[in-house]
Structure 1
């Protein structure tokens, strides 16, 4: 009989990874206590260590840059829409933007 994959919350993963970082208990003890394989605890610990700098400002800057980029893209979309509307209303042009032959 196959086991189903258990999905763990971010809070649970952080709690286990912090417990592994503290090194008060061994991986085997943490594994039996939380019901998670030792390899998975090690991965969560490595991920926590790798992403820790993002918690102190780097991610916030990325979010601000993302918002600025989205605003710039919206501005460009508006400009292109105005240009498209203007060109589509010109007499003598077909839908492809080429002059009609008479």
Structure 2
């Protein structure tokens, strides 16, 4: 009969990783407390720390090139629309229209 593999939620993994980082318990104590192998805990800890570092990076560093290109195009469009709006304001003032 196959042994069923237990799936841990993100919350459970986070709780275990936080306990590991705190250092109040040894890895051996944490493995026996939660029934998770030490290697798995180490992998979760490494993954959690990598994600933590990514969370502190600036948003422009973490966006993909396609998104950066879209942002650039949108800023160009905003600039063009601002110029057009200003031009229309000047022309409407010449003709006595309120803008």
- TM-score normalized by structure 1? 0.55
- Residue 48 of structure 1 is matched in structure 2 by 48
How many corresponding residue pairs? 71
- Residue 30 of structure 1 is matched in structure 2 by 30
- Residue 16 of structure 1 is matched in structure 2 by 16
The alignment partner of 2:8 has SS state of coil
Q: How many angstroms apart in 2 are the aligned matches of 1:16 and 1:66?
A: 36
Q: How many angstroms apart in 2 are the aligned matches of 1:25 and 1:12?
A: 16
The structure richer in helix per residue is 2
Q: How many angstroms apart in 1 are the aligned matches of 2:11 and 2:66?
A: 26
For residue 24 of structure 1, report the CA deviation from its aligned partner.
0.9
Structure 1 gaps of 5+ residues are: 73-102
- TM-score normalized by structure 2? 0.56
1:65–1:23 Cα change, 3 Å? same
Q: How many angstroms apart in 2 are the aligned matches of 1:16 and 1:64?
A: 31
Structure 2 gaps of 5+ residues are: 73-99
- Residue 84 of structure 2 is matched in structure 1 by none
1:57–1:65 Cα change, 3 Å? farther
